[in-house]
Amino acid sequence: MGRRRSFKPVKITINGKTRTVYNVVQAGNMLLSDWPEQTPAAKAAELLVLDVFNDAAGPEQVRRALITAAKASDIKFSS
């Protein structure tokens, strides 16, 4: 596993601003700083980010959780 813990990019649009997320750190930052609501799906994605750093999860799991959280919050995404 690469140190950057990257995954296939996901474009996420929050408040009309689209950003591309390429790795676990960016996903974590977005979930903590920019996510509009703390849904169970967003919380689960945050926990997976931590799991990656404890080698208990992989980047692809974070990517899927981020997309699930986007769907739960009606946030536009494309991958």
Partners of 14 in beta bridges: 17
CA angle 73, 74, 78 (to 5 degrees): 115
**CA separation for the pair 72, 29 (Å, rounded):** 18
- Angle between helix axes 59-72 and 40-53 (nearest 10 degrees) is 170
Predicted local distance difference test score (pLDDT) of residue 1: 44
Task: Indicate the length of the chain as a whole number.
Answer: 79
- Contact at 8 Å (CB) between 6 and 59? yes
Residue spans of the chain under pLDDT 70? 1-4
